[in-house]
Amino acid sequence: MARRQLKQHKKIPLIVICSEGGIKSSEYYYFRNYRTRNLRIQFSTGNSTDPKGMFSDLLKYMQNEDIESEDNVRIFLVLDTDLVDRRINEIKEIERKCLEHNIEIITSAPTFEIWYLLHYRANKLKFNSSQDVKKEIVKVNGTYSETMDMYKSIKKHTAEARATAKSLEQKAISDKEELIKANPHTSIYKILDAIDDFYYFR
């Protein structure tokens, strides 16, 4: 009897996101909408809120889940700068270690919610705190809480938000401003770029 050849199944591409709050975070409620039968999106576990602690939590998660054995994986550490120098410096301190483990740092200033706000307008405002951003979202959206799933409300304007986020980064660079200190800015669009890359990879 001829032996059956075992089919080699490719693993579905994977995106791993580590964000403050894990599955109770705004990032979770947003990015879970991008899960499909052709793309896995996982959120790392851990209770840390500081950049070094979150990096440590992410490494443990990667080891426990054997993430580094995956062929098609992108790993993102999503951090708010909070416009606080101490936090910004801590993010810079972990950059090299993240690079060694193929972890991509994604920053937003002051907070992730600036990404939502960019869906409503080409925002040029500077903010003093994360709470200021959230208050601004309430003004344009009518309501907001961190556990809201904003995806359906904003998805039709995502292309504009991506373009605005990129233009804010380009302006910071042209002004010779250190990107991580730019207010406002967000690199969240890079995760969407990774999602697109995996979509076309299939």
Task: Name the percent of the chain lying above pLDDT 70.
Answer: 93
Residue 61 phi, psi dihedral angles, 5° rounding: -60, -45
> What whole-number distance in Å separates Cα of residue 117 and Cα of residue 158?
11
Q: Which domain holds residue 85?
A: 14-201
Q: What is the mean pLDDT of residues 23-46?
A: 94
Q: What is the mean pLDDT of residues 81-92?
A: 98
In-domain check, residue 176:
yes
In-domain check, residue 2:
no
pTM above 0.85, yes or no: yes
In-domain check, residue 9:
no
> What whole-number distance in Å separates Cα of residue 197 and Cα of residue 202?
9
In-domain check, residue 69:
yes
> What whole-number distance in Å separates Cα of residue 73 and Cα of residue 179?
26
Nearest Cα neighbor of 68 from 100, 96, 92, 94 is 100
How many domains, the chain? 1
Read off the pLDDT of residues 1-33 as tens digits, 9 standing for 90 and up: 444 443 444 689 999 999 998 888 999 999 999
Read off the pLDDT of residues 156-173 as tens digits, 9 standing for 90 and up: 999 999 999 999 999 999
The confidence score (pLDDT) of residue 201 equals 55
In-domain check, residue 7:
no
In-domain check, residue 126:
yes
Residue 134 confidence class, pLDDT cut points 50, 70, 90: very high
182 to 41, 79, 88, 192: CA distances (angstroms): 28, 14, 11, 21
Asked whether the predicted pLDDT for residue 75 surpasses 90, the reply is yes
The confidence score (pLDDT) of residue 3 equals 47
106 to 4, 83, 143, 189, 197: CA distances (angstroms): 46, 15, 26, 9, 17
Asked whether the predicted pLDDT for residue 183 surpasses 90, the reply is yes
In-domain check, residue 6:
no
In-domain check, residue 156:
yes
